[in-house]
Structure 1
Amino acid sequence: MGFAAAASLEGFPYRGSRRITPPPSTLPLIIEEFFIVVYEDPLVKKELPKKFADYLDGKEPAKVYLRAADCGPRLWTVEVLFDGQGRMYLDKGWEKFAIAHGVDFGWFVHFKYEGDDVLTVKVFDGTMCRRYYYSDDEDTDDESDDDVKPCIHPL
């Protein structure tokens, strides 16, 4: 497509270098999906986005429950730390979840807040492809044992 054809496009959102900005939203701030990138040791506590911590302001949970999107009904209990400066961390329990799901350096972990302190998690590996898991674990109470029951990544 030449310059003349591009310049004549109706409804094209850019005019020269000026960008047409949509009107500001009047909807309340709702942060229900976010991701983290694992840059440091995958087994240490993980900081969640500040916007999500701000969204939970006033209803800061002591723990959250992680559910792998494709790994059955099991909920992983993970303690949450707030540092008093608006930052939120996944702490005790994150290590077990990370081991069971093979989380490693350079991976992306996508979270969707489902309410009631439940976060559904999708894991993307170093190739930027989603990892799919399944489990034959019928027990949904991970606090009854100290074993890390891994989810299985089919080949």
Structure 2
Amino acid sequence: MASTSRTPTGRGRGRGGWGGGSSSLPPPPSTLPLIIEEFFIVVYEDPLVKKALPKKFADYLDGQEPTKVYLREADCSPHLWTVEVLFDGQGRMYLDKGWENFSIAHGVDFGCFVHFKYEGDDVLTVKVFDGTMCKKYYYSDDEDTDDESDDDVKPCSHPL
């Protein structure tokens, strides 16, 4: 009996395209379209100054460079933060005016990991993770923010 890469239950490399002929392999990366939907930055310098976004994302927007983007907290209210965008002529893109306000409101500080997801129409959803690599949570806009207690802030569900 000839051996095949399929198992009697249909599991394994023979099913789903990886164990078959070369026609079932995915195309090489150089032939795939450039789609940049998600990226991150790590805050190593003053969190309030303009922030460089990855060059690959700026390249993705080539020919459609916005003058501003709209930042939205992921999984939160529909409130959008308007942030001006600068391009330096060398293919670099920066979040500029408006970034400082967003940073302060969301507690972006040294060591934070900021995840962006491009939603199209110049909208980026943002998640901020603190130095313990746990997602930061925020008070909603309608809550009283004079109380400095953290009782209403969700704790990190998976601390390190």
In the alignment, which residue of structure 1 is the partner of 2:97?
Answer: 92
Alignment equivalent of 1:109, drawn from 111, 114, 117: 114
The one-letter amino acid of 2:117's match is K
In the alignment, which residue of structure 2 is the partner of 1:59?
Answer: 64
Offset of 1:27 from its aligned partner? 2.5
Alignment of 1:1-12 (within 5 A): none
- Alpha-carbon distance in 2 for matches of 1:153, 1:115: 30
Which protein has the bigger strand share? Answer: 1
Indicate if the aligned counterparts of 1:71 and 1:134 stay in contact, CA closer than 8 A.
no
Indicate if the aligned counterparts of 1:132 and 1:153 stay in contact, CA closer than 8 A.
yes
Alignment equivalent of 2:28, drawn from 19, 24, 29: 24
Q: 1:153 to 1:100 in 2, by over 3 A?
A: farther
Task: State the number of aligned residues.
Answer: 124
Relative to the length of structure 1, the TM-score reads 0.73
Q: Deviations over 1:8-27 (max 9, x none)?
A: xx97xxxxxxxxxx751333
Alignment equivalent of 1:83, drawn from 84, 88, 110: 88
Q: Which has the higher contact order (CA 8 A, sep 6+)?
A: 1
Alignment equivalent of 1:37, drawn from 19, 42, 46: 42
- Alpha-carbon distance in 2 for matches of 1:97, 1:57: 25
Q: Deviations over 1:31-68 (max 9, x none)?
A: 01000000000000000000000000000000000001
Structure 1 residue runs without a partner (length 5+): 1-9, 12-21, 138-151
Q: Mark the structure with the bigger radius of gyration.
A: 2
Identity of aligned residues (%): 85
The SS at the match of 1:130 is coil
Structure 2 residue runs without a partner (length 5+): 1-11, 14-25, 143-151, 156-160
Relative to the length of structure 2, the TM-score reads 0.71
